[in-house]
Structure 1
Amino acid sequence: MNQIDSSLCACNSGLTPESCCQMDMAAAAAADVPATLHGDAEAAASALRSGDRERAEGLAIDVLESAPLHVPALRTLASVRLDQKRQNAAAVLLERIVGEEPTDYWAVSKLALLELGRQQHLKAEAHARQALRLAPTNPQSHNLMGVALTQTGKAAAGEYHHRKALELSGKRIPMVLSNLALNLKNQGRMQEARELYREAVAAEPMNRQSLLGWAQLEEADRNLDRAKELLDRVEEVSAPTPATRQTRAAIFGREGRADEALAILDAEEQRPLRPIELMERGRLLDRTGRYDEAWEAFLAGKRRAVEMGSQTYLREQARGLAEQLQQFFARERVDILPRAGVRSDVAQPIFILGFPRSGTTLLEQSLSVSPEITAGDELPVVHEIVATMPRLLASPHEYPGALAELWMGDKRDELDSLRDFYLQRARQRGLMGGEARLFTDKMPLNEVHLGLIGLIFPRAPLVHMIRHPLDIMVSAMSNFFTHGGFCGSQLETAAEHLVLSNTLVTHYRKVMDLNYQAVRYEDVVDDQEATMRRVFDFVGVAFDPRALSFEENVRYARTASYAQVTEKLYDRSRYRYRHYLKHLEPALPILEPLIEAWGYEV
């Protein structure tokens, strides 16, 4: 086993801490760089170009130990680390280059690609935007932007950039076609995506990325035999990979072949499983009744994700925002705030509220069987408004303080502008066409901003899906999500944020008149028809009996629970926490008040 040199920086760059993550930035920036170092840096770059990576690495490190901000040497060492797939080290070095030279397109674009690979999608989007600013006519910039936007839930905008990449290149590039196909799949446009995969594979029959993407589309679209055929083709092209194994295991899991799926994931014990594989393994163990092993797999997946750079809970930011919201949305303030007008010329939102994995997808799948309701999935628009509110309202304050502008005589109608901003974003996502007069927005934890939603859409139905808090915790631990300030990285922080968000809901309901209805997940399971009739009645749409067979709704639910909502209603997830009660003990003191407030018991 290779020993880690404790004298070197923990980021694994190969530099000493004083020349890397612990450097004195001011001193490094002010230091004179001897002319000889420039020659050494050029020699390092030349060695890299000639393929002598070891010499390039050594020369670059020598330069950076003396001049830690020497950009050409940073570029060489970053290139070596990228080749070695030492992602954390490469990210540190690339960020240092971008800090020194924000217009370095190579570094910015590489950083965007790296963050996409590490599942750091928000960071990737920020770097992709900068790459596009620097090179707006470069097809690669648009393709990169398309991938980043697709991964952050802005699929309609992402589609534009993929199509722009094809237009600028003047060619049907298979890689871009595959990326566009994934984008359309995420929009639920399965047949269009399928045709693009077919075109990409016809152009490059041995391209495993296109074949694997196509197989994953067929799995999502319930064509499991076709998905397996395509996976076989992928493994004819190259040896089985973690991605192909995980996809095949997911297919076997959907077919009820949990033991075979586990055998696939466990086939190479010497290779550490990736976070997504560990979580899949845990879910399969859960299905076979091996609950202690399942929990260990869930914990291992969370730990591995953090080791690979995933963010942990942003506790102080979450608490700080909650405190500001409670202070601003006081009764005496809310009473004198205006409300946006209600438009009747375009479709209007139904907000499906709830913690991730609380049953919101089940509810959306049931409602969207009606031709009057379009499924919008997780729309990030409320969060966009929150982030850009100072600019939108020309306020010197951040949200929620920026809402104080609404007390000004010349800003009384600005909520109409925020409303129209939201509706325009919905239109861009294709939610305004056809006969539907309503669309759903089930972005998890929108309830944190329930006060803002109540100002912009005062009559919008607010359907809050609640579920036994301990069941929510089991689901939170068995899946990855970034909502709620990355609270899902640990059991205790997921519990903490669930309580925090519900405290805000309780507060908003005390100080505002909201068109709000809570729906219990357990009631949907126990008495599906009566519960769904109440929900349809609440949103003002005639009950559609097809809601009772929501699994026949052919739309692709673009969330982690896409597979579950293609099954008939089942009760195996109701009170699932009982299998994990001893593992959930750390969360019990946090959740007990909420369990009681929601009318549950342990």
Structure 2
Amino acid sequence: MPTPTVEHHPSRGAEPRLDGLAPAALPHLQAAAHAIRDGAEAVARQALDAALALAPAHPELLRMLGLLHARAQRHAEACAALQQAVAQWPDYALAHADLGNAQLAAGEADAAFASWRRACALAPHAPMPWFNLGRNLQLHGDTAAAIEALEQAHALAPEFLPALILLGDALVHTGRFDDAAARYRAALALHPACGDAWRGLANIKTRPLPDADRERLTAALRLPGLNPADRIAMGFALGKVCEDQQRYEQAFAALDQANAALRQLHPWNAAAFRAHADALFAASSGLPTARDPALGHEAIFIVGLPRSGSTLFEQILAAHPEVEGASELPDLEQVLGEESARRRQPLLQWFATATGDDWQRLGRRYLERTARWRAHKPRHTDKLPSNWLLAGVLGAMLPGARIVDARRDALEAGWSCYKQQFYRLPHFACTLTDIAAYLRDYQRIMDAWQAAEPQRIRLQRYEALLAEPEREIRALLAFCGLPFDPACLAYHQASRSVRTASAAQVRQPLQRDTARADRYGARLDPLRLGLGLPMLGR
């Protein structure tokens, strides 16, 4: 789910943060702030240099310098500048908050949270430090603490929409659906065309939206001057409410329009993706043999097409007393990104020169970054669906890890993707044709990996789980090297934060009536054609 972001703006007028700043430096500070906002690094640096020449080492100028470095992803320089600022003004809450952002970007999560909490302590009656802390706690997976911080932000600024929305999201993740819906409804009372609030309500998938919501959405979508992001989110929500009411023609029309708008903003290139996936597969096939075949045993990766049951499989595993469910982690991609930055080469360029020792070092780096998920249990899940692209990389980097490939009926999974708004853009799910192309690439490559290394990769079918739950759960646990535990059969009773669009669904017992595609008839023929299935329109 997306999280609202808030920019820190420059000082206006005579504020305490300008104490000691030479008047002649103020125009340069303002120019730098605008240039940083607009991404004009050279202009910002020139203005800051001019300001620092007039007021050397002023904390506000150092803070702006830190923001400039942060925008350019020079994380060490950003931390250094911001640490200088707080060293001179230890009670400067805004600088502590910005320092936390820079520290997290530099991979110093513990220091970052200390900085954000310091900002809250220094400005306990200001909503923004609490919102900043809550937002980052939520991103970090500490949902209970995030709720506390976001409730504080909301209490201090009841009409601040981002806090209301993010609080609703956090409550959904913990299964408090009534409380979450109340926050989304409060946001709509303030702003009836708030796309994020409608998105939140629609993502509580087990709860049908009433006819009044269909009428409100239809009316809101007619308003002139709507923000495109709000219009798109409301379109997906309208599709959901129409499907709930069995208005399938209207549901398809709303989803078709929302997806077209999203694709126009962020076009997906299926041919370029296929070339990238094939290049990754070819390069991964020649990686060196792992030095330590057990490295990564702690991790269980769950990959596949979104909306294929991956959250359900994670919930089952996370009900086991030895497994922590960590949801969709960015760490694998970030470790590889760190190495690309260190080598100053794209991923595919340094593959050929990476040694077995290099891959072992990267595997250990991943385990270091994810160690917090194993603070109480020895193993953790990593459920980022797109990690299927890195299945071969994992063989060299974390050879002891297990990979669960979540598969669902292709037509149902593809249609479910089309109904879901995704936030990693561009995304393949905006046309039925692109969904089919992506699905073919994914299945082709994962089938090859699974055939070559069945001891490392398990194809887990959603429909098989529905048909024989206990047999499939026992087989899944055995593949992961886990003893059977009956708690996994009652996975829906597990108390954990679920941070995906399936948060409501996995808190129910198995539902066998999840198929929806047949209700849309020939409208899904482009997807059927791409999947090689018989079309209904002929």
TM score, norm. by length of structure 2: 0.75
Question: What is residue 234 of structure 2 aligned with on the other side?
Answer: 277
What is the CA distance between 1:230 and its match in structure 2? 4.8
3-state SS, counterpart of residue 351 of structure 1: strand
* More RCO (CA 8 Å, sep 6+): 2
1:543 and 2:492 matched: no
Contact 1:158 1:183 in 2 (8 A): no
Which residue identity lines up with residue 398 of structure 2 in the other structure? Answer: F
**Of 351, 357, 374, which aligns to 1:432?**
374
State how 1:131-280 maps to structure 2 within 5 Å: 133=77, 136-137=82-83, 140=94, 143=97, 161=112, 163-167=114-118, 170-172=122-124, 173-204=126-157, 207-227=160-180, 230=183, 238=190, 240-242=192-194, 246=198, 249-250=201-202, 254-271=206-223, 272=226, 274-280=231-237
Question: What is residue 498 of structure 2 aligned with on the other side?
Answer: 557
Bigger-Rg structure (1/2): 1
1:461 and 2:399 matched: no
Question: What is residue 293 of structure 1 aligned with on the other side?
Answer: 250
**Of 472, 485, 497, which aligns to 2:438?**
497
3-state SS, counterpart of residue 413 of structure 1: helix
Deviation readout 1:205-256 (Å, 9 max, x if unpaired): 55454345434433443334444555676677x4645258527844986443
Q: Distance in 2 between matches of 1:505 and 1:228?
A: 38
* Structure 2: gaps (5+ residues): 1-11, 14-26, 49-67, 86-92
Question: What is residue 278 of structure 2 aligned with on the other side?
Answer: 323
Q: After superposing the two structures, state which structure 1 stretch, 292-301 or 158-167, moved more.
A: 158-167
- What do you get for the CA RMSD once the two structures are aligned? 4.1
Which residue identity lines up with residue 316 of structure 2 in the other structure? Answer: S
State how 1:519-530 maps to structure 2 within 5 Å: 519-530=460-471
Question: What is residue 420 of structure 1 aligned with on the other side?
Answer: 364
**Of 392, 395, 399, which aligns to 2:347?**
399
Question: What is residue 361 of structure 1 aligned with on the other side?
Answer: 311
Contact 1:175 1:210 in 2 (8 A): no
Compared CA separation, residues 166 and 458, structure 1 to 2 (3 A): closer
Question: What is residue 15 of structure 1 aligned with on the other side?
Answer: none
Contact 1:364 1:440 in 2 (8 A): yes
Compared CA separation, residues 445 and 524, structure 1 to 2 (3 A): same
Q: Distance in 1 between matches of 2:269 and 2:77?
A: 30
- In the alignment of these two chains, the number of paired residues is 475
Contact 1:142 1:162 in 2 (8 A): no
Q: Distance in 1 between matches of 2:304 and 2:196?
A: 33
**Of 278, 283, 291, which aligns to 1:340?**
291
Contact 1:128 1:148 in 2 (8 A): no
What is the CA distance between 1:529 and its match in structure 2? 1.7
Q: Distance in 2 between matches of 1:245 and 1:404?
A: 47
Which residue identity lines up with residue 567 of structure 1 in the other structure? Answer: Q
Q: Distance in 2 between matches of 1:252 and 1:442?
A: 20
Which residue identity lines up with residue 82 of structure 2 in the other structure? Answer: P
Residue identity over aligned pairs, in percent, reads: 22
Compared CA separation, residues 129 and 569, structure 1 to 2 (3 A): same
What is the CA distance between 1:426 and its match in structure 2? 0.7
What is the CA distance between 1:141 and its match in structure 2? 6.8
3-state SS, counterpart of residue 274 of structure 1: helix
Which residue identity lines up with residue 443 of structure 1 in the other structure? Answer: L
Q: Distance in 1 between matches of 2:143 and 2:489?
A: 24
Question: What is residue 599 of structure 1 aligned with on the other side?
Answer: none
Compared CA separation, residues 295 and 235, structure 1 to 2 (3 A): closer
Question: What is residue 518 of structure 2 aligned with on the other side?
Answer: 578
What is the CA distance between 1:189 and its match in structure 2? 3.2
Compared CA separation, residues 209 and 160, structure 1 to 2 (3 A): farther
3-state SS, counterpart of residue 465 of structure 1: strand
* Structure 1: gaps (5+ residues): 1-47, 50-70, 80-89, 106-123, 597-602
TM score, norm. by length of structure 1: 0.68
What is the CA distance between 1:364 and its match in structure 2? 0.1
Q: Distance in 2 between matches of 1:233 and 1:590?
A: 43
What is the CA distance between 1:290 and its match in structure 2? 1.7
Which residue identity lines up with residue 375 of structure 1 in the other structure? Answer: G
What is the CA distance between 1:375 and its match in structure 2? 0.7
